Protein backbone atom coordinates (compact mmCIF):
# COMPACT_ATOMS: atom_id res chain seq x y z
CA UNK A 1 0.00 0.00 0.00
CA UNK A 2 1.27 3.45 -0.89
CA UNK A 3 2.36 5.60 2.02
CA UNK A 4 0.63 8.57 0.42
CA UNK A 5 -2.72 6.79 0.55
CA UNK A 6 -2.10 5.75 4.17
CA UNK A 7 -1.22 9.23 5.39
CA UNK A 8 -3.98 10.77 3.30
CA UNK A 9 -6.55 8.41 4.82
CA UNK A 10 -5.36 9.12 8.35
CA UNK A 11 -5.58 12.86 7.71
CA UNK A 12 -9.10 12.49 6.28
CA UNK A 13 -10.29 10.41 9.24
CA UNK A 14 -8.83 12.91 11.70
CA UNK A 15 -10.38 15.76 9.74
CA UNK A 16 -13.82 14.08 9.75
CA UNK A 17 -13.71 13.58 13.52
CA UNK A 18 -12.62 17.20 14.07
CA UNK A 19 -15.39 18.28 11.69
CA UNK A 20 -18.01 16.40 13.73
CA UNK A 21 -16.72 17.84 17.01
CA UNK A 22 -16.78 21.37 15.61
CA UNK A 23 -20.28 20.93 14.16
CA UNK A 24 -21.75 19.64 17.43
CA UNK A 25 -19.88 22.29 19.43
CA UNK A 26 -21.23 25.17 17.33
CA UNK A 27 -24.73 23.68 17.22
CA UNK A 28 -24.69 23.95 21.00
CA UNK A 29 -24.19 27.72 20.88
CA UNK A 30 -26.95 29.64 22.72
CA UNK A 31 -27.54 31.94 19.73
CA UNK A 32 -29.90 30.31 17.23
CA UNK A 33 -28.38 32.17 14.27
CA UNK A 34 -24.96 30.78 15.13
CA UNK A 35 -26.52 27.30 15.17
CA UNK A 36 -28.09 27.79 11.75
CA UNK A 37 -24.89 29.28 10.33
CA UNK A 38 -22.83 26.36 11.69
CA UNK A 39 -25.09 23.83 9.93
CA UNK A 40 -24.90 25.75 6.64
CA UNK A 41 -21.11 26.10 6.86
CA UNK A 42 -20.72 22.42 7.77
CA UNK A 43 -22.74 21.44 4.73
CA UNK A 44 -20.74 23.80 2.48
CA UNK A 45 -17.37 22.46 3.67
CA UNK A 46 -18.11 18.87 2.65
CA UNK A 47 -19.87 19.99 -0.53
CA UNK A 48 -16.73 21.91 -1.50
CA UNK A 49 -14.55 18.90 -0.68
CA UNK A 50 -16.72 16.77 -2.97
CA UNK A 51 -16.89 19.31 -5.81
CA UNK A 52 -13.62 21.22 -6.03
CA UNK A 53 -10.94 19.63 -8.18
CA UNK A 54 -7.50 21.11 -8.77
CA UNK A 55 -5.92 19.30 -11.68
CA UNK A 56 -6.11 15.62 -10.77
CA UNK A 57 -6.35 16.31 -7.03
CA UNK A 58 -9.68 16.09 -5.20
CA UNK A 59 -10.16 16.15 -1.45
CA UNK A 60 -12.91 13.51 -1.52
CA UNK A 61 -12.82 11.15 -4.48
CA UNK A 62 -15.63 8.80 -5.52
CA UNK A 63 -14.49 6.19 -2.98
CA UNK A 64 -14.53 8.75 -0.16
CA UNK A 65 -17.93 9.97 -1.35
CA UNK A 66 -19.32 6.46 -0.98
CA UNK A 67 -17.87 6.14 2.51
CA UNK A 68 -19.37 9.50 3.47
CA UNK A 69 -22.89 8.51 2.41
CA UNK A 70 -22.55 5.13 4.10
CA UNK A 71 -21.43 6.85 7.30
CA UNK A 72 -24.47 9.15 7.24
CA UNK A 73 -26.82 6.20 6.75
CA UNK A 74 -25.05 4.19 9.45
CA UNK A 75 -25.33 7.12 11.86
CA UNK A 76 -29.12 7.10 11.46
CA UNK A 77 -29.32 3.35 12.04
CA UNK A 78 -27.01 3.45 15.07
CA UNK A 79 -28.81 6.42 16.64
CA UNK A 80 -32.03 4.42 16.45
CA UNK A 81 -30.43 1.35 18.00
CA UNK A 82 -28.87 3.45 20.74
CA UNK A 83 -32.33 4.75 21.60
CA UNK A 84 -33.65 1.17 21.81
CA UNK A 85 -30.69 -0.45 23.56
CA UNK A 86 -28.52 2.30 25.02
CA UNK A 87 -31.27 4.53 26.44
CA UNK A 88 -34.22 2.15 26.83
CA UNK A 89 -32.27 -1.01 27.68
CA UNK A 90 -33.95 -3.35 25.17
CA UNK A 91 -31.40 -5.65 23.53
CA UNK A 92 -32.35 -5.73 19.83
CA UNK A 93 -30.81 -7.55 16.88
CA UNK A 94 -33.48 -6.56 14.38
CA UNK A 95 -32.31 -3.04 13.50
CA UNK A 96 -30.72 -4.23 10.26
CA UNK A 97 -34.05 -5.76 9.21
CA UNK A 98 -35.81 -2.38 9.48
CA UNK A 99 -32.87 -0.82 7.63
CA UNK A 100 -33.49 -3.29 4.80
CA UNK A 101 -37.24 -2.66 4.82
CA UNK A 102 -36.65 1.07 4.41
CA UNK A 103 -34.13 0.50 1.63
CA UNK A 104 -36.34 -1.81 -0.44
CA UNK A 105 -39.56 0.17 0.15
CA UNK A 106 -38.06 3.49 -0.96
CA UNK A 107 -36.17 1.92 -3.87
CA UNK A 108 -39.34 0.29 -5.20
CA UNK A 109 -41.15 3.65 -5.20
CA UNK A 110 -38.53 5.54 -7.21
CA UNK A 111 -37.71 2.58 -9.48
CA UNK A 112 -41.34 2.24 -10.51
CA UNK A 113 -41.73 6.01 -10.89
CA UNK A 114 -38.87 6.49 -13.34
CA UNK A 115 -40.14 3.47 -15.28
CA UNK A 116 -43.64 4.85 -15.74
CA UNK A 117 -45.43 3.14 -12.84
CA UNK A 118 -46.83 5.26 -10.00
CA UNK A 119 -48.29 2.39 -7.99
CA UNK A 120 -45.24 2.17 -5.75
CA UNK A 121 -45.71 5.70 -4.42
CA UNK A 122 -49.50 5.50 -4.23
CA UNK A 123 -49.62 2.13 -2.50
CA UNK A 124 -46.86 2.93 0.00
CA UNK A 125 -48.11 6.48 0.67
CA UNK A 126 -51.79 5.57 1.03
CA UNK A 127 -50.84 2.42 2.95
CA UNK A 128 -48.75 4.17 5.62
CA UNK A 129 -51.32 6.96 6.00
CA UNK A 130 -54.24 4.55 6.37
CA UNK A 131 -52.11 2.31 8.57
CA UNK A 132 -51.27 5.22 10.83
CA UNK A 133 -54.94 6.17 11.09
CA UNK A 134 -55.87 2.57 11.88
CA UNK A 135 -53.22 2.33 14.61
CA UNK A 136 -54.31 5.65 16.09
CA UNK A 137 -58.00 4.81 15.93
CA UNK A 138 -57.69 1.34 17.44
CA UNK A 139 -55.31 2.67 20.09
CA UNK A 140 -57.83 5.36 21.09
CA UNK A 141 -60.58 2.76 21.31
CA UNK A 142 -58.46 0.32 23.33
CA UNK A 143 -57.73 2.94 26.00
CA UNK A 144 -61.24 2.31 27.27
CA UNK A 145 -60.41 -1.35 27.85
CA UNK A 146 -57.23 -1.41 29.88
CA UNK A 147 -57.35 -5.12 30.64
CA UNK A 148 -57.54 -6.37 27.07
CA UNK A 149 -54.87 -9.07 26.46
CA UNK A 150 -51.90 -8.09 24.33
CA UNK A 151 -52.56 -10.76 21.70
CA UNK A 152 -56.17 -9.65 21.33
CA UNK A 153 -55.06 -6.06 20.81
CA UNK A 154 -52.41 -7.25 18.33
CA UNK A 155 -55.11 -9.14 16.37
CA UNK A 156 -57.18 -5.96 16.05
CA UNK A 157 -54.17 -3.94 14.86
CA UNK A 158 -53.10 -6.66 12.43
CA UNK A 159 -56.55 -7.03 10.85
CA UNK A 160 -56.87 -3.27 10.60
CA UNK A 161 -53.54 -2.90 8.82
CA UNK A 162 -54.42 -5.71 6.41
CA UNK A 163 -57.58 -3.82 5.47
CA UNK A 164 -55.53 -0.63 5.05
CA UNK A 165 -53.05 -2.49 2.82
CA UNK A 166 -55.89 -3.87 0.67
CA UNK A 167 -57.38 -0.41 0.23
CA UNK A 168 -53.93 1.00 -0.64
CA UNK A 169 -53.47 -1.62 -3.39
CA UNK A 170 -56.88 -0.80 -4.83
CA UNK A 171 -56.05 2.92 -4.74
CA UNK A 172 -52.84 2.20 -6.65
CA UNK A 173 -54.73 0.36 -9.38
CA UNK A 174 -57.34 3.11 -9.72
CA UNK A 175 -55.00 6.12 -9.67
CA UNK A 176 -52.07 4.73 -11.67
CA UNK A 177 -53.61 5.28 -15.16
CA UNK A 178 -54.34 8.93 -14.40
CA UNK A 179 -51.01 9.84 -12.77
CA UNK A 180 -48.77 7.78 -15.06
CA UNK A 181 -50.02 9.77 -18.06
CA UNK A 182 -47.88 12.66 -16.83
CA UNK A 183 -44.72 10.56 -16.67
CA UNK A 184 -44.31 10.34 -20.44
CA UNK A 185 -41.92 7.86 -22.02
CA UNK A 186 -38.17 7.20 -21.96
CA UNK A 187 -37.66 9.25 -25.11
CA UNK A 188 -40.10 12.00 -24.14
CA UNK A 189 -40.30 12.39 -20.34
CA UNK A 190 -43.47 14.05 -19.10
CA UNK A 191 -43.80 16.91 -16.60
CA UNK A 192 -43.94 14.45 -13.69
CA UNK A 193 -40.64 12.82 -14.60
CA UNK A 194 -38.27 15.79 -14.54
CA UNK A 195 -35.20 15.75 -12.23
CA UNK A 196 -36.87 18.23 -9.88
CA UNK A 197 -40.02 16.11 -9.53
CA UNK A 198 -37.89 12.99 -9.08
CA UNK A 199 -36.19 14.64 -6.10
CA UNK A 200 -39.61 15.37 -4.59
CA UNK A 201 -40.67 11.75 -5.13
CA UNK A 202 -37.38 10.63 -3.58
CA UNK A 203 -37.99 12.82 -0.53
CA UNK A 204 -41.51 11.37 -0.13
CA UNK A 205 -40.18 7.84 -0.62
CA UNK A 206 -37.64 8.34 2.18
CA UNK A 207 -40.30 9.61 4.59
CA UNK A 208 -42.81 6.90 3.67
CA UNK A 209 -40.13 4.20 3.97
CA UNK A 210 -39.26 5.38 7.47
CA UNK A 211 -42.92 5.42 8.51
CA UNK A 212 -43.42 1.97 6.94
CA UNK A 213 -40.53 0.56 8.99
CA UNK A 214 -41.99 2.22 12.10
CA UNK A 215 -45.46 0.73 11.55
CA UNK A 216 -44.01 -2.75 10.96
CA UNK A 217 -41.99 -2.39 14.15
CA UNK A 218 -45.17 -1.41 16.01
CA UNK A 219 -46.97 -4.56 14.88
CA UNK A 220 -43.93 -6.72 15.63
CA UNK A 221 -43.07 -5.08 18.93
CA UNK A 222 -46.56 -5.06 20.40
CA UNK A 223 -46.60 -8.79 21.34
CA UNK A 224 -42.83 -9.35 21.45
CA UNK A 225 -41.85 -6.53 23.83
CA UNK A 226 -43.72 -8.30 26.61
CA UNK A 227 -40.84 -10.79 26.63
CA UNK A 228 -37.71 -10.29 28.67
CA UNK A 229 -34.72 -8.49 27.20
CA UNK A 230 -32.82 -11.67 26.21
CA UNK A 231 -35.87 -13.29 24.63
CA UNK A 232 -36.68 -10.03 22.89
CA UNK A 233 -33.19 -10.04 21.36
CA UNK A 234 -33.71 -13.57 20.02
CA UNK A 235 -37.11 -12.60 18.60
CA UNK A 236 -35.67 -9.56 16.81
CA UNK A 237 -32.90 -11.73 15.37
CA UNK A 238 -35.58 -14.02 14.00
CA UNK A 239 -37.35 -11.01 12.50
CA UNK A 240 -34.16 -9.92 10.71
CA UNK A 241 -33.75 -13.43 9.27
CA UNK A 242 -37.37 -13.49 8.07
CA UNK A 243 -36.93 -10.13 6.35
CA UNK A 244 -33.81 -11.39 4.60
CA UNK A 245 -35.60 -14.54 3.42
CA UNK A 246 -38.42 -12.40 2.00
CA UNK A 247 -35.83 -10.28 0.17
CA UNK A 248 -34.32 -13.40 -1.39
CA UNK A 249 -37.78 -14.54 -2.53
CA UNK A 250 -39.27 -11.13 -3.31
CA UNK A 251 -39.92 -12.10 -6.94
CA UNK A 252 -41.61 -15.41 -6.09
CA UNK A 253 -43.33 -15.27 -2.71
CA UNK A 254 -43.94 -11.51 -2.90
CA UNK A 255 -45.39 -9.74 -5.96
CA UNK A 256 -42.31 -7.65 -6.69
CA UNK A 257 -40.59 -9.00 -9.82
CA UNK A 258 -38.58 -5.78 -10.18
CA UNK A 259 -36.66 -6.68 -7.00
CA UNK A 260 -35.34 -9.86 -8.68
CA UNK A 261 -35.03 -11.79 -5.44
CA UNK A 262 -31.61 -13.20 -4.66
CA UNK A 263 -30.12 -11.76 -7.85
CA UNK A 264 -30.48 -8.26 -6.45
CA UNK A 265 -32.43 -5.19 -7.47
CA UNK A 266 -30.65 -3.16 -10.13
CA UNK A 267 -31.48 0.20 -11.66
CA UNK A 268 -32.39 2.01 -8.44
CA UNK A 269 -32.18 5.75 -9.24
CA UNK A 270 -29.11 7.24 -7.59
CA UNK A 271 -30.87 10.29 -6.19
CA UNK A 272 -29.05 10.62 -2.87
CA UNK A 273 -26.97 13.78 -2.72
CA UNK A 274 -24.86 15.22 0.05
CA UNK A 275 -27.68 17.68 0.73
CA UNK A 276 -30.29 14.97 1.37
CA UNK A 277 -27.92 12.72 3.34
CA UNK A 278 -26.74 15.63 5.51
CA UNK A 279 -30.28 16.98 5.94
CA UNK A 280 -31.78 13.73 7.19
CA UNK A 281 -28.79 13.00 9.43
CA UNK A 282 -29.01 16.43 11.09
CA UNK A 283 -32.78 16.13 11.50
CA UNK A 284 -32.42 12.74 13.20
CA UNK A 285 -29.69 14.07 15.50
CA UNK A 286 -31.90 17.02 16.49
CA UNK A 287 -34.97 14.79 17.03
CA UNK A 288 -32.93 12.34 19.08
CA UNK A 289 -31.39 15.03 21.28
CA UNK A 290 -34.70 16.80 21.96
CA UNK A 291 -36.41 13.49 22.68
CA UNK A 292 -33.79 12.31 25.18
CA UNK A 293 -33.88 15.53 27.21
CA UNK A 294 -37.68 15.75 27.27
CA UNK A 295 -40.00 14.25 29.88
CA UNK A 296 -40.65 11.41 27.43
CA UNK A 297 -36.92 10.76 27.17
CA UNK A 298 -36.55 10.68 30.94
CA UNK A 299 -39.35 8.12 31.11
CA UNK A 300 -37.61 6.03 28.43
CA UNK A 301 -34.35 6.10 30.39
CA UNK A 302 -36.14 5.25 33.64
CA UNK A 303 -37.30 1.97 32.07
CA UNK A 304 -33.67 1.07 31.47
CA UNK A 305 -32.63 1.94 34.99
CA UNK A 306 -35.35 0.09 36.90
CA UNK A 307 -38.64 -1.12 35.46
CA UNK A 308 -40.15 -1.76 38.88
CA UNK A 309 -39.37 1.74 40.12
CA UNK A 310 -40.69 3.21 36.86
CA UNK A 311 -43.99 1.36 37.31
CA UNK A 312 -44.18 2.58 40.88
CA UNK A 313 -43.88 6.15 39.63
CA UNK A 314 -46.83 5.65 37.28
CA UNK A 315 -44.85 5.18 34.05
CA UNK A 316 -46.43 2.85 31.49
CA UNK A 317 -43.38 0.68 30.86
CA UNK A 318 -44.87 -1.25 27.94
CA UNK A 319 -45.84 1.94 26.09
CA UNK A 320 -42.40 3.52 26.47
CA UNK A 321 -40.66 0.34 25.36
CA UNK A 322 -42.84 0.28 22.26
CA UNK A 323 -42.31 3.99 21.63
CA UNK A 324 -38.51 3.68 21.74
CA UNK A 325 -38.63 0.64 19.47
CA UNK A 326 -40.85 2.36 16.90
CA UNK A 327 -38.83 5.59 16.80
CA UNK A 328 -35.55 3.68 16.53
CA UNK A 329 -36.95 1.62 13.65
CA UNK A 330 -38.12 4.82 11.95
CA UNK A 331 -34.53 6.12 12.03
CA UNK A 332 -33.31 2.82 10.54
CA UNK A 333 -35.86 2.99 7.71
CA UNK A 334 -34.73 6.52 6.83
CA UNK A 335 -31.10 5.39 6.78
CA UNK A 336 -31.95 2.44 4.52
CA UNK A 337 -33.73 4.69 2.03
CA UNK A 338 -30.74 7.05 1.87
CA UNK A 339 -28.35 4.12 1.36
CA UNK A 340 -30.46 2.53 -1.40
CA UNK A 341 -30.48 5.68 -3.52
CA UNK A 342 -26.76 6.16 -3.19
CA UNK A 343 -25.64 2.65 -4.04
CA UNK A 344 -28.17 2.07 -6.86
CA UNK A 345 -28.17 -1.71 -6.28
CA UNK A 346 -29.76 -3.73 -3.50
CA UNK A 347 -28.71 -7.28 -2.72
CA UNK A 348 -30.17 -9.48 0.04
CA UNK A 349 -26.57 -10.30 0.96
CA UNK A 350 -26.20 -6.75 2.27
CA UNK A 351 -28.93 -7.36 4.84
CA UNK A 352 -27.99 -10.74 6.32
CA UNK A 353 -28.16 -11.18 10.08
CA UNK A 354 -24.35 -11.46 10.33
CA UNK A 355 -23.89 -8.00 8.83
CA UNK A 356 -26.71 -6.87 11.09
CA UNK A 357 -24.38 -7.13 14.09
CA UNK A 358 -22.46 -4.09 12.82
CA UNK A 359 -24.83 -1.46 14.35
CA UNK A 360 -24.71 -3.29 17.68
CA UNK A 361 -20.91 -3.33 17.63
CA UNK A 362 -20.82 0.37 16.75
CA UNK A 363 -23.23 1.29 19.57
CA UNK A 364 -21.15 -0.61 22.13
CA UNK A 365 -17.93 0.75 20.63
CA UNK A 366 -19.09 4.37 20.86
CA UNK A 367 -20.72 3.98 24.27
CA UNK A 368 -24.19 2.89 25.31
CA UNK A 369 -26.30 5.93 26.03
CA UNK A 370 -23.95 8.34 24.23
CA UNK A 371 -25.29 10.11 21.15
CA UNK A 372 -21.90 11.64 20.41
CA UNK A 373 -20.31 8.20 20.70
CA UNK A 374 -22.77 6.79 18.16
CA UNK A 375 -21.95 9.51 15.63
CA UNK A 376 -18.18 9.30 16.08
CA UNK A 377 -18.12 5.50 16.06
CA UNK A 378 -20.31 5.36 12.92
CA UNK A 379 -18.01 7.62 10.91
CA UNK A 380 -14.88 6.06 12.39
CA UNK A 381 -16.15 2.54 11.64
CA UNK A 382 -16.94 3.30 8.00
CA UNK A 383 -13.86 5.38 7.19
CA UNK A 384 -11.33 3.25 9.06
CA UNK A 385 -12.57 -0.34 9.08
CA UNK A 386 -14.63 -0.31 5.87
CA UNK A 387 -12.36 2.17 4.09
CA UNK A 388 -8.70 2.20 5.07
CA UNK A 389 -8.53 -1.32 6.49
CA UNK A 390 -10.43 -2.87 3.59
CA UNK A 391 -8.10 -1.30 1.04
CA UNK A 392 -5.03 -2.25 3.09
CA UNK A 393 -6.11 -5.89 3.34
CA UNK A 394 -7.01 -5.89 -0.34
CA UNK A 395 -3.34 -5.39 -1.14
CA UNK A 396 -2.59 -8.77 0.42
CA UNK A 397 -4.94 -10.77 -1.81
CA UNK A 398 -8.50 -11.07 -3.02
CA UNK A 399 -9.65 -12.98 0.07
CA UNK A 400 -7.73 -10.90 2.58
CA UNK A 401 -10.51 -8.29 3.13
CA UNK A 402 -12.59 -11.06 4.75
CA UNK A 403 -10.18 -10.88 7.68
CA UNK A 404 -12.04 -7.72 8.68
CA UNK A 405 -14.66 -9.99 10.25
CA UNK A 406 -11.92 -11.38 12.48
CA UNK A 407 -10.51 -7.99 13.38
CA UNK A 408 -13.92 -6.52 14.28
CA UNK A 409 -14.60 -8.79 17.28
CA UNK A 410 -10.96 -8.69 18.36
CA UNK A 411 -11.10 -4.88 18.38
CA UNK A 412 -14.37 -4.93 20.32
CA UNK A 413 -12.95 -7.44 22.82
CA UNK A 414 -9.90 -5.25 23.45
CA UNK A 415 -12.13 -2.23 23.92
CA UNK A 416 -14.30 -4.07 26.44
CA UNK A 417 -11.20 -5.01 28.42
CA UNK A 418 -9.56 -1.59 28.30
CA UNK A 419 -12.60 0.73 28.32
CA UNK A 420 -15.84 -1.17 28.97
CA UNK A 421 -17.96 2.01 28.85
CA UNK A 422 -17.03 2.60 25.19
CA UNK A 423 -14.99 5.32 23.54
CA UNK A 424 -16.96 8.26 24.93
CA UNK A 425 -18.85 6.53 27.71
CA UNK A 426 -21.71 8.87 28.54
CA UNK A 427 -19.84 11.99 27.40
CA UNK A 428 -21.68 14.28 25.00
CA UNK A 429 -20.31 17.02 22.77
CA UNK A 430 -21.68 20.52 22.40
CA UNK A 431 -25.26 20.42 21.16
CA UNK A 432 -25.82 16.92 22.54
CA UNK A 433 -25.02 17.85 26.14
CA UNK A 434 -27.86 18.02 28.62
CA UNK A 435 -29.32 21.54 28.74
CA UNK A 436 -28.51 23.53 31.84
CA UNK A 437 -31.41 23.89 34.20
CA UNK A 438 -31.55 27.31 35.82
CA UNK A 439 -32.15 27.10 39.52
CA UNK A 440 -34.54 29.70 40.83
CA UNK A 441 -33.07 32.00 43.41
CA UNK A 442 -34.97 31.70 46.66
CA UNK A 443 -35.59 35.07 48.24
CA UNK A 444 -35.51 34.96 51.99
CA UNK A 445 -38.77 36.17 53.46
CA UNK A 446 -38.48 39.32 55.53
CA UNK A 447 -39.17 38.76 59.23
CA UNK A 448 -42.71 39.66 60.14
CA UNK A 449 -43.05 42.89 62.10
CA UNK A 450 -45.44 42.99 64.99
CA UNK A 451 -47.42 46.20 65.26
CA UNK A 452 -47.88 47.12 68.89
CA UNK A 453 -51.50 47.45 69.93
CA UNK A 454 -52.97 50.52 71.58
CA UNK A 455 -53.02 48.86 74.97
CA UNK A 456 -49.27 48.11 74.97
Summarised one tens digit per residue, pLDDT across range 286-319 is 999 999 999 999 999 999 888 889 888 888 888 9
Q: Flag whether pLDDT at 384 surpasses 60.
A: yes
The pLDDT of residue 329 is above 60:
yes
What would the mean pLDDT of 150-166 be, rounded to a whole number? 92
Q: What confidence tier does 157 reach under pLDDT thresholds 50, 70, 90?
A: very high
For residue 445, name the pLDDT band (cuts at 50, 70, 90): low
pLDDT band at residue 269, thresholds of 50, 70 and 90?
very high
Ramachandran assignment for 164, one of left (phi > 0), alpha (psi -120 to 50 degrees), beta (any other): alpha
Between CA 349 and CA 345 the distance in angstroms is 11
CATH number of 3-116+183-432: 1.10.3470
For residues 167 and 127, what is the distance between their CA atoms, to the nearest angstrom? Answer: 8
When the pLDDT of each residue in the chain is averaged and rounded to a whole number, the result is: 86
What residues contact 123, with CB distance under 8 A and at least 6 apart?
Answer: 168, 169, 171, 172
142 vs 57, higher pLDDT:
142
Residue 356: the pLDDT is: 84
Supply the pLDDT for residue 159. 94
For residue 5, pLDDT over 80 is answered with: no
Per the CB < 8 A criterion, the answer to whether 26 and 412 are in contact is no
How far apart are alpha carbons 365 and 74 in whole angstroms? Answer: 14
Quote the Cα angle for 289-363-101, to 5°.
85
pLDDT digits (tens, 9 = 90+) for 348-383: 988 888 888 889 889 988 888 889 999 999 998 888
**How far does the chain reach from its first CA to its final CA, in angstroms?**
102
Query: In residues, how long is the chain?
Result: 456
pLDDT at 1 over 60: no
pLDDT at 272 over 90: yes
Residue 257: pLDDT band with limits 50, 70, 90: confident
pLDDT at 56 exceeding the cut of 90: no
Tell me what pLDDT residue 406 has: 75
Q: For residue 274, give the nearest of 113, 43, 63, 90 by alpha carbon.
A: 43
pLDDT computed for residue 121 by the predictor: 93
Calculate what percentage of the chain has a pLDDT beyond 70.
91
Calpha distance 360→19 (Å, rounded): 24
* pLDDT digit string, tens, across residues 77-130: 999 999 999 999 888 888 999 999 999 999 999 999 988 888 999 999 999 999
pLDDT confidence bin for 450, thresholds 50/70/90: low
More confident of the two residues 409 and 97: 97
Which percentage of the chain shows pLDDT scores above 90?
A: 44
Cβ atoms of 368 and 82 closer than 8 Å: yes
Distance CA 330, CA 102 (A): 9
Amino acid sequence: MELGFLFGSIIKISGILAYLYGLLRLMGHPNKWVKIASIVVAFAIIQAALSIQIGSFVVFNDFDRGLLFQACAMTMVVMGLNLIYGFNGQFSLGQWGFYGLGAYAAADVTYRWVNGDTRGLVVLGVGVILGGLVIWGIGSWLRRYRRMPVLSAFTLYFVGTLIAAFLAVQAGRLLNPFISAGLGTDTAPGPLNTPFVQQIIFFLAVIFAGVFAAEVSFLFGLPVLSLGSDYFGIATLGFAIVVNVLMVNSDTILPFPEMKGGRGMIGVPQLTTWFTAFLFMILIIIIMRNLIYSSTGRAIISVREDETAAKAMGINVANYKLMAFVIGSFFAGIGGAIYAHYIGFLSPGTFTFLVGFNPLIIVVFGGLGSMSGSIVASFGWIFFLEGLLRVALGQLGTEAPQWRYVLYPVTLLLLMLIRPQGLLGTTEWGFLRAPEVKVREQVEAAPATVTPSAGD
